[in-house]
């Protein structure tokens, strides 16, 4: 499962970034410039990775498919999946 999560505020980005790494222990592919950007995070449980969707092609595809969600939507969806286990 892959989630594309929009986070624009720098403090919120840092908080979400730390939350993901602490809770899920994913391979961190986010560099400092990406962390400070406004591009959405990609939480990829299939590949066990956290990265930033910073290419125009990635953004266009995600937007066109309606795949970009908020932090709250991400937490709601992942908590539901954990409860079903």
| Domain range for 55 | 2-84
CA distance 3 to 69: 8
Looking at the 3D structure of the chain, how many domains does it have?
Answer: 1
pTM reported for the whole predicted model: 0.88
CA distance 19 to 41: 12
pLDDT digits (tens, 9 = 90+) for 24-73: 999 999 999 999 999 999 999 999 999 999 999 999 999 999 999 999 99
């Amino acid at each position: 499962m892959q989630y594309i999560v929009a986070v624009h505020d720098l403090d919120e980005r840092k908080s979400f970034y730390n939350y993901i790494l602490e809770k899920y222990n994913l391979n961190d592919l986010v560099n400092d410039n990406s962390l400070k950007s406004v591009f959405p995070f990609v939480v990829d449980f299939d590949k066990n990775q956290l990265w930033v969707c910073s290419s125009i092609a990635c953004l266009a595809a995600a937007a066109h498919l309606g795949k970009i969600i908020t932090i709250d939507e991400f937490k709601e969806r992942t908590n539901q999946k954990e409860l079903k286990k």
